[in-house]
Structure 1
């Protein structure tokens, strides 16, 4: 069974995962990175602090967030 990680886990404890960031990320690393985990969950970290804490989300949580982002529900936080 895959190890279960809690939110705030040091990202460097997530060994063997493939972190990736959006192509929209700037050259100064102002982006978040995501990685699928063996448990089926998704980890997210700040690309500027790759060993810092990672947040872990279920697939349902990430799907709900992405659907809201695609619909523009969070556009106001950038204003």
Structure 2
């Protein structure tokens, strides 16, 4: 059985993600998350080609990184 470490919870904040697609469309998505964790999720998604899933959003959504040109973050 592996050793599990409790890490202090990261501060969360409201973040606006500006998603620019290769077809020049732009989406603005607001999520409440930790910026570092969100950046890691996006980076991993671009590296592997796997979709970014946001199940806790209302409504839940996912983004296919193959169609994304650029993502910009704005903290509120």
Q: So what's the TM-score if we normalise by structure 1? A: 0.28
Q: Based on CA coordinates, which of the two structures has the bigger radius of gyration?
A: 2
